[in-house]
């Protein structure tokens, strides 16, 4: 009984802090110098003529992971003389040529060039001065752990930095270059682990932030990590990982986590992942690590298969769900959520084939399953398959995270549900509130998407980015000016629904999510 007044006072103080922060910085026109000294040397950026935000693009945070450093933990940058001009994004990580697909037009993809193994660069947007100690926001991109990069247009950090935070986006290795495990790599590692190099890149970037962000006017003790899709799963891993301890104090996970087996990205153990690595080495006729490291990147990509984070005993000593169940995670406030229509179903089964598949997979639970995902007609079966795809890949895992964290009570968690069907031409209208659709709103970057925007969209972008800014500042998305967003708990199941009209309500579809989270 005595804890409630204390909690209330803390929430009031956090809200007051967010209000003070907003008042102090949101319309502040001060700026940092265009040249900044960091641990490796001097870097210069480019100041926006309209916002006074200075962008430093392409800052190296680790040595190029090439040659002997391929498939090794990121190594320190070699210091440089003079001023390093940081006016363009560094190369994106090795991946296939970015080609638009489904609803994902160029605004969602990295530029075609440059793409390189030499990819460990980050970007900083700031309008502060050294000594301001502004909150820091670190963005981790998605792409299924096989693609992506910071140069995606909708990831531009100027609009968020204009609102008073320090915005940082980081590259990390993907595909075979970011997540290959192999017995030889495990043996040579001082940590006796291999496979999670992409996650280690993210940890190295966070260490860079801790060491250098004060020079850009940021507070190294007030860092929020945020990611979407594979970036969200990365955030989930970082919250679980002992290697990321004390490198951030808040986390946002947009559409993705590893609390459940993901049919697209099945988490693996080290032994199985090493066998996959052996097969890859055989496929390129490499009999040693030395030979494997000399194989051209394009040749590796031809035979790479699918790679993602694994339980390696070091970055992830146990499965994420087990780490949380045992209370070993980094206890930080969290925002997590998903979108109404995010699905990657390419083709749909007719109702009879769909029902038969469900009976085979769910056995005695098939009847209950079909109550949540019915198939009275072919059209209804198709709609159910869309929802099922969303729940299996994104929503049920996030729901499980929220339930577990809220029951532990050590740090608050807030859930959002993004249901705004993005305005679109006839080619794209069918995708609705699609996967990644919320990102441009969160970052107040609608200008980078060629859509028939309505006034309601601009209002929604302002609203969502304000909630995010408040959370980045204080660990609480609320402020006096905004509609209350309650912290999630399993009894009331309240969430913030973002749409043309936004507000708190009972989490949509929670019963089917609870069914899915319980497993077969």
Angle subtended by helix axes 378-390 and 351-362, to nearest 10: 40
Tokens of 498: 């973002």
> Residue 33: its pLDDT value, please?
67
pLDDT at 34: 80
Average pLDDT score over residue span 232-243? 97
Instruction: Work out the average pLDDT over 58-78.
Output: 98
Rounded Cα distance between 273 and 179, Å, is 9
56, burial (CB in 10 Å: exposed 0-12, middle 13-18, buried 19+): buried
The model's confidence at residue 244, banded by pLDDT at 50, 70 and 90, is very high
pLDDT (0 to 100) of residue 17? 42
Residue bearing the bigger pLDDT, 519 or 517: 517
pLDDT at 491: 93
b/e map 208-223, b = 16+ CB within 10 Å: bbbebbbbbbbbbebb
- Kindly state the DSSP code that residue 292 receives in the 8-state scheme: H
| Model pLDDT for residues 253-281, shown as the tens digit of each residue | 999 999 987 655 555 899 999 999 999 99
Average pLDDT over residues 177-190: 97
**pLDDT reported for residue 32:** 60
**Torsion on CA atoms 194, 229, 156, 471, rounded to nearest 10:** -100
Contacts (Cβ under 8 Å, ≥6 apart) of 502: 460, 463, 483, 496
| Average pLDDT score over residue span 445-473 | 97
Bigger pLDDT: 5 vs 499: 499
pLDDT of residue 263: 59
State residue 381's pLDDT score.
94
Give per-residue pLDDT as tens, 130-159: 789 999 999 999 999 999 999 999 999 999
Band of pLDDT at residue 6, cut at 50, 70 and 90: very low
Domain covering 3-346+401-489, topology: Rossmann fold (3.40.50)
Q: What is the pLDDT of residue 290?
A: 97
The Cα–Cα gap between 291 and 481 comes to: 61
- What's the pLDDT at 305? 87
Q: Tell me which of 229, 267, 384, 389 is the catalytic residue.
A: 229
479 catalytic per annotation = no
**Would you say 92 and 171 are in contact if contact means Cβ atoms under 8 Å apart?**
yes
Q: What is the DSSP string of 414-450?
A: EEEEE-------TTTGGG-S-TTTTHHHHTT-GGGS-
| CA pair distance 16, 21, nearest whole angstrom | 8
**pLDDT at residue 7 is higher than 90:** no
- pLDDT at residue 14 above 70? no
Strands (E) located in 86-172: 121-126, 134-140, 166-170
Residue closest to 274 by CA, chosen among 145, 200, 187: 187
* pLDDT (0 to 100) of residue 345: 83
In the predicted model, is pLDDT for residue 30 greater than 50?
Answer: no
Strand order in the sheet with 503-506: 46-47, 54-60, 121-126, 166-170, 134-140, 218-228, 250-254, 334-339, 413-418, 494-498, 503-506
User: What is the DSSP code (8-state) at residue 98?
Assistant: P
When mean pLDDT is compared across 67-76, 428-437, 459-468, the lowest value belongs to 428-437
Residue-wise pLDDT tens digits, 504-518: 999 999 999 999 888
Write the pLDDT tens digit of every residue in 364-421: 999 999 999 999 999 999 999 999 999 989 999 999 999 999 998 789 999 999 999 9
Q: How far apart are CA 310 and CA 58, in angstroms?
A: 29
Write the CA distances from 364 to 233, 460, 498, integer angstroms: 32, 44, 37
Q: Is 229 a catalytic residue?
A: yes
pLDDT at 11 (0 to 100)? 37
Sheet containing strand 83-85, strands side by side: 35-38, 41-44, 83-85
pLDDT at 8 over 70: no
The tens digit of pLDDT for each residue in 299-352 reads 999 998 889 999 999 999 999 999 999 999 999 999 999 999 998 887 899 999
Q: How confident is the model at residue 111 (pLDDT cuts 50, 70, 90)?
A: very high
32 Cβ neighbours under 8 A, 6+ residues apart: 54, 126, 127, 128, 129, 130, 216, 217
Percent of the chain with pLDDT over 90: 84
* Average of per-residue pLDDT values in the chain: 91
Q: How many Å apart are CA 390 and CA 60, to the nearest integer? A: 36
Catalytic residue among 342, 384, 438, 479: 342
Q: How far apart are CA 473 and CA 164, in angstroms?
A: 9
pLDDT confidence of residue 340: 95
Q: Give residue 262's pLDDT.
A: 67
Q: CB 250: neighbour CB atoms within 10 A?
A: 24
What proportion of the chain, given as a percentage, has pLDDT over 70?
A: 92
The vertex-205 CA angle with 202 and 206, nearest 5°, equals 90
Which of 435, 465, 479, 512 is catalytic? The answer is: 435
In this prediction, residues 244-256 reach a mean pLDDT of 97
Assess whether 182 carries a catalytic annotation. Answer: no
Dist CA 153 CA 200 (whole Å) = 25
């Amino acid at each position: 009984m005595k804890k409630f007044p204390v909690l209330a006072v803390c929430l009031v103080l956090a809200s007051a802090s967010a209000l003070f922060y907003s008042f102090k910085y949101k319309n502040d026109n001060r700026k940092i110098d265009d040249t900044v000294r960091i641990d490796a040397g001097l870097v210069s950026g480019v100041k926006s003529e309209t916002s006074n935000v200075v962008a430093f693009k392409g800052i190296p945070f680790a040595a190029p992971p090439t040659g002997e450093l391929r498939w090794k933990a990121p190594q320190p940058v070699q210091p440089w003389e003079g001023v390093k001009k940081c006016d363009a994004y560094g190369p994106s990580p090795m991946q296939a040529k970015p080609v638009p697909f489904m609803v994902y037009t160029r605004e969602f993809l990295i530029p075609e060039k440059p793409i390189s193994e030499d990819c460990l660069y980050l970007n900083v947007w700031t309008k502060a001065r050294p000594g301001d100690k502004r909150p820091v926001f670190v963005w981790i991109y998605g792409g299924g752990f096989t693609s992506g990069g910071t140069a995606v247009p909708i990831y531009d950090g100027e609009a968020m930095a204009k609102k008073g935070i320090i915005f940082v986006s980081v590259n990390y290795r993907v595909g075979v270059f970011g997540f290959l495990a192999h017995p030889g790599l495990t043996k040579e590692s001082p940590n006796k682990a291999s496979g999670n190099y992409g996650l280690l890149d993210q940890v190295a970037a966070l260490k860079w932030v801790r060491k250098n962000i004060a020079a850009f006017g940021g507070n190294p003790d007030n860092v929020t990590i945020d990611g979407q899709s594979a970036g969200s799963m990365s955030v989930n891993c970082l919250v679980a990982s002992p290697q990321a301890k004390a490198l951030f104090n808040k986390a946002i996970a947009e559409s993705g986590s590893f609390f459940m087996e993901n049919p697209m990205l099945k988490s693996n153990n080290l032994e199985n992942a090493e066998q996959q690595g052996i097969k890859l080495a055989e496929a390129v006729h490499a009999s040693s690590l030395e030979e494997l490291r000399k194989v051209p990147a394009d040749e590796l990509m031809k035979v790479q298969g699918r790679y993602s984070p694994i339980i390696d005993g070091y970055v992830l000593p146990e499965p994420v769900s087990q780490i949380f169940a045992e209370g070993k995670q980094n206890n930080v406030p969290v925002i997590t959520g998903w979108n109404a229509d995010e699905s990657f179903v390419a083709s749909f089964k007719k109702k009879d084939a769909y029902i038969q598949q469900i009976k085979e997979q769910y056995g005695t639970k098939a009847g209950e399953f079909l109550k949540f995902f019915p198939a009275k007609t072919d059209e209804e079966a198709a709609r159910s398959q869309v929802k099922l795809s969303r729940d299996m890949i994104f929503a049920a895992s996030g729901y499980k995270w929220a339930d577990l964290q809220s029951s532990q009570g050590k740090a608050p968690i807030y859930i959002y549900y993004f249901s705004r069907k993005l305005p679109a031409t006839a080619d794209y209208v069918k995708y609705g509130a699609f996967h990644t659709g919320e990102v441009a709103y969160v970052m107040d970057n609608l200008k980078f998407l060629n859509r028939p925007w309505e006034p309601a969209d601009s209002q929604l972008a302002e609203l969502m980015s304000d909630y995010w800014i408040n959370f980045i500042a204080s660990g609480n998305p609320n402020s006096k000016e905004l509609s209350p967003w309650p912290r999630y708990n399993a009894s009331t199941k309240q969430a913030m629904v973002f749409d043309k009209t936004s507000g708190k309500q009972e989490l949509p579809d929670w019963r089917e999510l609870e069914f899915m989270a319980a497993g077969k």
